[in-house]
């Protein structure tokens, strides 16, 4: 089957409707046992040390897995992707560029999706049918999310894993569906988690390998995974163009902020962890986040796929101590 | 007499401090941590007890803090340096709103409200702007830390230092020496460079006054002067700034006595 690598979330309905297998390259990179090696390989190729590790990891995983074709997001994600595409094209990878319009224009987004539809040679009818199938699966991920923040039966890490996997449905939607159904069944038999601090996680998924585990060991619980939840298309609509307009990640930070504020309140969050990737332009958005939210925020910066360093761990622990002192 | 111990296992020095039931400091001890933070913590506490003729059996609660806090196996509980410095500084200055702590391997600024930590920032993942930075520079300039501090407290002019990375700054200082720049100008430039860095950390937090300066580097009068110049205001310095973390830990130990967290056995291995 034709495998299509993705640099970030795109309308996978179109890819699946064409009978292709979408593979989120970020997920492949971060779950690789050789994630660090993939980065080193990219650096040996000439990728600068002061460039985002996700970009280098994506390049590494495309090479390692021999992926021949990708859909690359050229607007709404990261401008480093432009050079990444050029390098991959230079090395013979076929690239379909996809751009989310900055102004959330329905017309422009429709035009992009139409172009993508033609590229994959599918009809809007096929896409609609695929959307119905995938939405059912997404609903399971939303139920896992609810079990996390409402019933306290699912850990923050599990919530993160299932939500983040919705970007490509692990390349096999039906198997992913069965996996989630099994998981939900099991989770419902658990005793609720009792950690006293409810934390929210804002930002791109972490490159740290043990962040959730460390938070839990310190008696905290992540009950909100902001962008991972966005990858799961949390705003239900039958209109596929509308769905990708409601998706917050590729658009203005102010639009994301509305979603963050709403969820912080709904999920009764005591403190937020704002994760930023080293060398990423999104680090600057921390300025707005801190001014716009009253909830205490800890900003953590990660560079390579590794456990938390001692200093970051100290900051996390101190943040949780201060949240506890404020509560009692 | 029940005693409450705070042990601050820092990267450069380990500090132990004892409080009695009335909250008075009855003993303290400081030693170099070296390569054995676990051993240093028990030796430091034993010495602290020995000074007042007491033993481990007299300790009610022990709280550890500092980078080696998890290694103190005989501690009742551990807290981060952020919490302990905030608590310790509040002992001397209850009205404080901000703490600048410069230790051996890190520097931090803590904003407080009603004695509680509101927010904090720490230096980057290197020794820039810390006690270790000053130690390396003192070695390069062939001075003791005391001489360095003294020179900084009376220097009139500074040469700008652009590198804050310890390794690059060392090369920069060597180049300045080779250019014939006087030692006092280099020393004052180094202190001002650190102070500017700390001042930018202060600006990132909710602004409250007064500011208390703690940690081993607060003993350096030149650094106090540089920080006051960079911030444009006077700083409050506790009597023994190096002990503030251990004091905070001991105060938290005393708080715990009411929570039934008393020790029932002691182990120093």
B190-228 pLDDT, tens digit each: 999 999 989 999 998 989 999 999 999 999 999 999 999
Nearest 5°: the CA angle A127, A131, A137 is 150
Q: What is the CATH number of domain B1-93+243-269?
A: 3.30.420.40
Q: What is the mean pLDDT of residues B128-132?
A: 80
Mean pLDDT of A47-60: 96
Residue A38 lies in a domain: yes
- In our burial notation (b when 16+ CB lie closer than 10 A, e otherwise), range A193-220 reads eebebbbbbbbbbbbbbebbebbbebeb
pLDDT of residue B131: 86
Residue A322 sits at the chain B interface (C-beta within 8 Å) = yes
Query: Closest-CA residue in chain B for A286?
Result: B204
Instruction: Specify if A109 maps to a domain.
Output: yes
Of A30, A33, A28, A38, residue with least CA distance to A5 = A28
| pLDDT value of residue A240 | 98
- Distance from the A272 Cα atom to the nearest Cα atom in chain B, whole angstroms: 12
What is the token pair recorded at A292?
Answer: 């716009």
Task: Say if residue B182's pLDDT is above 80.
Answer: yes
What is the model's pTM? Answer: 0.87
Chain B residues with beta carbon closer than 8 angstroms to that of A322:
82-83, 116-120
Whether the CB of B122 is below 8 Å from some CB of chain A: the reply is yes
Mean pLDDT, chain A, integer: 96
Tokens of A49: 């040390």
Cα end-to-end span (Å), chain A? 57
Is it true that B1-93+243-269 and B96-237 share their CATH fold?
yes
Predicted pLDDT at A327: 63
In a domain, residue A68? The reply is: yes
pLDDT tier for residue B269 given thresholds of 50, 70 and 90: very low
Q: Determine the average pLDDT of the residues in A174-200.
A: 96
Higher pLDDT, B127 or B269: B127
Is A46 inside a domain boundary?
yes
CB B25 within 8 A of CB B15: no
Question: Quick check: A321 and B79 CB within 8 A?
Answer: yes
Question: A322, A325, A327: which to substitute to probe chain B, counting the most B Cβ within 10 Å?
Answer: A322
The pLDDT value given to residue B126: 66
Chain B residues near residue A309 by CB distance under 8 angstroms: 125
In whole angstroms, how large is the CA radius of gyration of chain A?
19
Tell me if A226 is assigned to some domain: no
- For residue A250, pLDDT over 60 is answered with yes
**Which own/partner contact pairs does A306-310 have at CB distance under 8 Å and 24+ positions apart?**
A306/A36, A306/A207, A306/A208, A306/A209, A307/A208, A307/A209, A307/A210, A308/A208, A308/A210, A308/A211, A308/A214, A309/B125, A310/B67
Model confidence at A235: pLDDT above 90: yes
Q: What is the pLDDT of residue B264?
A: 43
For the ranges A52-66, A200-214, B51-65, B128-142, the lowest mean pLDDT is seen at B128-142
Mark yes or no for CB contact A314/B118 under 8 Å.
Answer: no
Mapped onto helix, strand or coil, the DSSP state of residue A202 is strand
- A215 vs A220: CA distance, rounded Å: 5
pLDDT at B261 over 60: no
Using the predicted structure, report yes or no on whether residue B127 has a pLDDT greater than 70: no
B260 has pLDDT over 70:
no
A238-258: average pLDDT: 97
Region of A46 please: left (phi>0), alpha (psi -120 to 50) or beta: left
Give the Cα separation of A296 and A290 in Å (integer).
Answer: 8
Percent above pLDDT 90 for chain B: 70
Q: Closest by alpha carbon to A319, among B63, B244, B82, B114?
A: B82
- Residue A252: CB atoms within 10 Å: 12
β-bridge mates for residue B78, sequence order: B64
Give yes or no for residue B180 having a pLDDT over 50.
yes
| Residue A273: predicted pLDDT | 97
pLDDT value, residue A128? 97
Do A140 and A181 touch, CB atoms closer than 8 A?
yes
User: Does the residue A315 lie in any domain?
Assistant: no
Of A78, A47, A61, which Cα lies nearest the Cα of A3? A61
CA distance B238 to A326: 25
How many residues can be counted in chain A?
328
Q: What is the largest CA-CA distance in chain B?
A: 64
DSSP string, B190-254: HHHHHHHHHHHHHHTS---S-EEEESGGGG-HHHHHHHHHHHTS--B--SSGGGHHHHHHHHHHH
Q: Is residue A306 part of a domain?
A: no
Find chain B residues with C-beta within 8 A of A314's C-beta.
67, 80-82, 122
End-to-end CA distance of chain B: 25
Residue B110 to residue B120: CA distance in whole angstroms: 4
With H, G, I as helix, E, B as strand and everything else as coil, classify residue A173.
helix
- Say if residue B116's pLDDT is above 50: yes
Exposed/middle/buried for residue A278 (C-beta within 10 Å: 0-12, 13-18, 19+): middle
Asked whether the predicted pLDDT for residue A305 surpasses 80, the reply is yes
Query: To the nearest whole number, what is the mean pLDDT of chain B?
Result: 90
Q: Does ipTM top 0.85?
A: no
What was the pLDDT predicted at A124? 98
Mean pLDDT (whole number) for B13-26 = 96
Q: How confident is the model at residue B81 (pLDDT cuts 50, 70, 90)?
A: very high
Query: At B262, is the pLDDT very low, low, confident or very high (cuts 50, 70, 90)?
Result: very low
B117–A318 CB contact, under 8 Å: yes
Is residue A325 scored above 90 in pLDDT? Answer: no
Any idea which residue has 């310190």 for tokens? A218
**pLDDT bracket for residue B169 (50, 70, 90):** confident
Where helices occur in chain A by DSSP H, the ranges are 12-17, 25-31, 35-45, 53-65, 80-90, 106-120, 124-149, 156-165, 173-187, 211-217, 226-231, 240-246, 253-266, 286-292, 310-327
DSSP helix/strand/coil, B162: coil
Contact B116 A326 (CB under 8 A): yes
Count of domains for chain A: 1
Which chain A residues have a beta carbon less than 8 Å from that of B207?
none
Distance CA B79, CA B62 (A): 11
pLDDT above 90 (res B249): yes
- Residue A328: predicted pLDDT: 56
Domain boundary assignment for chain B: 1-93+243-269, 96-237
Q: Does A294 touch chain B (CB under 8 A)?
A: no
User: Would you state the pLDDT for residue B265?
Assistant: 40
Judge whether B120 is closer than 8 Å to chain A, CB to CB.
Answer: yes
Segment 96-115 of chain A within 8 Å of chain B by CB: none
Residue in A closest to B122 by C-alpha: A315
pLDDT band at B105 (very low <50, low <70, confident <90, very high): confident
Asked if B117 has any chain A CB less than 8 Å from its own CB, the reply is yes
Label residue A173 by pLDDT band (50, 70, 90).
Answer: very high
CA distance A94 to B184: 62
DSSP annotation of A285 reads: G
Considering the domain boundaries, does residue A113 fall inside one? yes
Instruction: Tell me which residue range forms the domain holding A56.
Output: 3-124
Q: Which CATH number does the domain housing residue A110 bear? A: 3.40.50.11890
Band of residue A97 on the pLDDT scale cut at 50, 70, 90: very high
Q: Do A322 and B116 touch (CB under 8 A)?
A: yes
Instruction: List all residues 6 or more positions away from B153 whose beta carbon is below 8 Å from its beta carbon.
Output: B221, B222, B225
Question: Measured between alpha carbons, how far is B169 from B164 in angstroms, rounded to an integer?
Answer: 6
Domain B96-237 has CATH 3.30.420.40: yes
**A325 with B79: Cβ contact below 8 A:** no
């Amino acid at each position: 089957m034709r495998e299509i690598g993705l640099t970030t979330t795109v309308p996978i309905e179109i890819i699946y409707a064409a009978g292709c297998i979408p593979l989120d390259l970020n997920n492949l990179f971060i779950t690789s046992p050789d994630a660090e090696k993939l980065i080193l390989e990219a650096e040996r190729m000439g990728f600068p040390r002061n460039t985002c590790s996700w970009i280098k990891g994506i390049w590494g995983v495309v090479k390692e897995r021999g992926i021949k074709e990708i859909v690359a997001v050229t607007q709404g994600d990261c401008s480093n992707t432009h050079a990444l595409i050029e390098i991959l094209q230079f090395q013979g990878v076929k690239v379909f560029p996809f751009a989310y319009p900055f102004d959330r224009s329905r017309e422009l987004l429709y035009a992009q999706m139409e172009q993508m539809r033609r590229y994959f040679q599918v009809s809007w009818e096929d896409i609609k049918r695929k959307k119905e199938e995938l939405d059912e699966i997404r609903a399971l991920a939303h139920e896992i999310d609810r079990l996390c923040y409402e019933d306290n039966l699912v850990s923050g890490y599990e919530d993160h894993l299932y939500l983040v996997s919705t970007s490509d449905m692990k390349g096999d939607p039906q198997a992913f569906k069965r996996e989630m159904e099994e998981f939900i069944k099991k989770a419902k038999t658990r005793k609720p988690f009792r950690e006293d601090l409810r934390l929210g996680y804002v930002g791109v998924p972490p490159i740290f390998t043990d962040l959730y585990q460390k938070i839990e060991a310190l008696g905290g619980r992540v009950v909100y995974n902001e962008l991972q939840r966005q990858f799961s298309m949390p705003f239900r609509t039958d209109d596929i163009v509308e769905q990708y307009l409601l998706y917050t990640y590729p658009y203005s930070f102010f639009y994301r902020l509305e979603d963050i504020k709403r969820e912080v309140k709904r999920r009764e969050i005591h403190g937020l962890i704002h994760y930023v990737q080293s060398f990423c332009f999104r680090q600057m958005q921390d300025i707005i986040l801190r001014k716009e939210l009253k909830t205490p925020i800890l900003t953590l910066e990660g560079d390579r796929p590794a456990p938390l360093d001692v200093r970051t761990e100290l900051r996390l622990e101190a943040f949780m101590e201060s949240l506890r002192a404020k509560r009692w | 007499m029940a005693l409450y111990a705070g042990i601050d296992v820092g990267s450069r020095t380990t500090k132990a401090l004892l409080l009695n039931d009335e909250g008075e400091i009855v003993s303290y001890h400081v030693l170099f941590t070296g390569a054995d933070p676990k051993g240093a913590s028990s030796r430091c506490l034993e010495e602290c007890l020995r000074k007042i003729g007491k033993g481990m059996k007299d300790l009610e609660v022990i709280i550890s803090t500092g980078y080696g806090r998890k290694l103190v196996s005989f501690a009742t509980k551990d807290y981060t340096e952020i919490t302990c410095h905030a608590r310790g500084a509040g002992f001397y200055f209850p009205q404080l709103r901000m703490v600048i702590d410069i230790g051996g391997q890190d520097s931090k600024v803590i904003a407080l409200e009603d004695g509680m930590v509101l927010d904090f920032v720490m230096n980057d993942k290197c020794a820039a702007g810390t006690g270790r930075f000053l130690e390396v520079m003192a070695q390069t300039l062939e001075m003791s830390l005391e001489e360095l501090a003294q020179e900084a407290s009376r220097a009139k002019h500074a040469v700008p230092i652009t590198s804050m990375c310890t390794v690059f700054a060392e090369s920069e200082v060597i180049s300045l020496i080779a250019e014939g720049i006087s030692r006092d100008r280099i020393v004052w430039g180094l202190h001002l460079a650190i102070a500017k860095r700390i001042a930018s950390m202060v600006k990132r937090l909710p602004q409250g006054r007064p500011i208390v300066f703690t940690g081993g580097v607060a003993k350096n009068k030149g650094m106090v002067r540089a920080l006051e110049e960079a911030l444009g205001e006077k700083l409050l310095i506790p009597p023994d700034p190096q002990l503030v973390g251990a004091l905070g830990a001991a105060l938290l130990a005393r708080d715990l006595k009411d929570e039934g967290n008393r020790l029932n056995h002691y182990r120093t291995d």
